[in-house]
A and B are shown apart, each in its own frame.
Chain A
């Protein structure tokens, strides 16, 4: 709880330091949903993402402050839950602690502090929270939380399907069927919301590229707007040095995390296709970060924490877009250099991470 409070306070402070976005955001839609509950004849995809706006709409206070606070609290919860998930997956306390801070100060988290008018911060919590509950065998709780989550954004169903696929890969058929039933129930809640809003209030997706499934989704328009170099750099800055480490960590982590990572690939590809890829991929941070941090932990502790610090520092500029932070390039390069060193250290060790017993009994 103390850790949560500390992270939440830090993120809230960062949130209130971030500049106002200098481009069109989805703020108008979310604020209209918060104020009016329903916007008849709405033709924006974000009109369907109602739950956060509805909750924040009934709370008192200025809109920007409420949304920034929501982003800070959600991301802090996501980071703390990810730390717990690491322990449940059988990773060390050091990996759990570093993963917590990497998640809290990662690109996705900090970007939602800069532009809090989205459901993303809640979704960043959904991944680790639902996976944690599923691993503990609390499928009903995961289902209920997922059902609320999909009222915020469709991604909340993804961790349930990822877990289902991982259970199938491990041939745990009874668990797989139960998880599938839970995931389907959550999907039906999402579909029900879409149909209800469309039929009752004439909501539409408008001309959202995300709905153009047979003509490139959001991916092709996104690529066409950016040069290949910029597109590549946008995707790279999402995880920075962690991109180099996660593939190595994949071979070192406990098998249940490996299965979850493999099972997440179809969902990651699908979301990268229908959403803006650089932001969509952060939804999978709860699998990427532990895999990468396992390799970071091969460095001596001070260096390992330095890497996490450089990663976080770069994101203060790239994600939170704090203008008073010096250019991110140096921190990014330093973190990449340390990542290379960590990769070499892991290669030299050439052995899986010391197997810790999971912090508690898990079903997968």
Chain B
């Protein structure tokens, strides 16, 4: 009995440490216990309008704080737009469901996973077709704990990062050990071995938009700015064509083409040539916000 209790207490201790790791990182570069950026949002209130942003690296906002990404910027624009005298009072909140390294084929499933957040408007903010997804993934898709419970462990990643910054091989090894145990358990319990056939870029985004329409009353599809290679241009054109042909008549869907806005290709608003700086996200929000506000106003009327 004591051995079982010791195990349970050790697990509880790990969970406490993991809570702490989340608390330290969720406002910065990490995710909260349910795997999205920023603190866990409270249950949705009756007077609340909730905006969600789904996507990969661009939506996640690599390199900036959770409060500097697109989602909170959109919240601010929508809150200002709704704050008009004579109108019923609404509280506007936003959640950043972007996941680092998540390919477009994962957007729909990711949205379904967070269905209980009950967003009113969802921005499907796609990464460019050839974005560097897969190099670093957050939240990890191969976590047994996450697959079983929805809880996203953060301690392994924080230990690895701390180990590196402290030059402590032991701390880093502890983090890697925890991660590999979790990954092995996933392999044993959840990975059925079949290789998923990735959908094409446009098919994946179409699936994401359909999933979003099943959850929210309005969807904004945001086509990303791209670097200008032929392949990127082709994917972008395909995306524009898909939205035009599939959702053209749907009043619940808006389309924002960031590639058509020259200022967003400027290197001065990028951190590493790809990901936006805090100023870059704010600039993107200025262009996406009108479509979001349009849908939000339709929702509250």
A interface residue numbers (CB < 8 A to B): 40-41, 177, 180-181, 184-185, 187-188, 191, 195, 198-199, 202
Contact assessment for B40 and A177 in the assembled complex, using a CB-CB cutoff below 8 Å? no
| Choice from A41, A177, A195 contacting B12 with Cβ under 8 Å | A195
| Choice from A180, A185, A188, A198 contacting B19 with Cβ under 8 Å | A198
Within 8 A of A (CB), among B139-192: 151
Contacts of A185 in B (CB 8 A): 5
Further 6 A-B residue pairs, CB within 8 A, beyond A198-B19, A199-B33: A40-B42, A177-B2, A181-B1, A188-B12, A202-B40, A202-B42
Identify the interface centre among B5, B6, B19, B33: most chain A CB within 10 Å of its CB: B5
B81 within 8 A of A: no
Contact assessment for B9 and A184 in the assembled complex, using a CB-CB cutoff below 8 Å? yes
Closest Cβ of chain B: how far from A306's Cβ, in Å? 49
Contact assessment for B151 and A199 in the assembled complex, using a CB-CB cutoff below 8 Å? yes
Within 8 A of A (CB), among B1-57: 1-2, 5-6, 8-9, 12, 15, 19, 33, 40, 42-43
Bound-state CA distance A199–B19 (Å) is 10
| Choice from B2, B5, B43 contacting A202 with Cβ under 8 Å | B43
Closest Cβ of chain B: how far from A39's Cβ, in Å? 10
Contact assessment for B42 and A41 in the assembled complex, using a CB-CB cutoff below 8 Å? yes
* In the A-B complex, the 8 residue pairs with the closest CB atoms: A41-B42, A184-B5, A40-B43, A191-B12, A181-B1, A181-B2, A188-B8, A202-B40
Contact assessment for B42 and A187 in the assembled complex, using a CB-CB cutoff below 8 Å? no
Closest Cβ of chain A: how far from B145's Cβ, in Å? 12
Bound-state CA distance A195–B13 (Å) is 11
- Chain A residue nearest to B12 (CB atoms) is A191
- Chain A residue nearest to B1 (CB atoms) is A181
Contacts of B15 in A (CB 8 A): 195
Contacts of A198 in B (CB 8 A): 19
Bound-state CA distance A181–B3 (Å) is 9
Contact assessment for A41 and B2 in the assembled complex, using a CB-CB cutoff below 8 Å? no
Contact assessment for A180 and B43 in the assembled complex, using a CB-CB cutoff below 8 Å? no
Bound-state CA distance A195–B9 (Å) is 13
Known: A40-B42, A199-B33. A180 touches B2 (CB 8 A): yes
Contacts of B12 in A (CB 8 A): 188, 191, 195
Closest Cβ of chain B: how far from A205's Cβ, in Å? 10
Closest Cβ of chain B: how far from A274's Cβ, in Å? 15
Contacts of B9 in A (CB 8 A): 184, 187-188, 191
Closest Cβ of chain A: how far from B199's Cβ, in Å? 33
- 20 inter-chain pairs at a CB distance below 8 angstroms, sorted by A residue, are A41-B42, A41-B43, A177-B2, A180-B2, A181-B2, A181-B5, A184-B2, A184-B9, A185-B5, A187-B9, A191-B9, A191-B12, A195-B12, A195-B15, A198-B19, A199-B33, A199-B151, A202-B40, A202-B42, A202-B43
Bound-state CA distance A177–B1 (Å) is 10
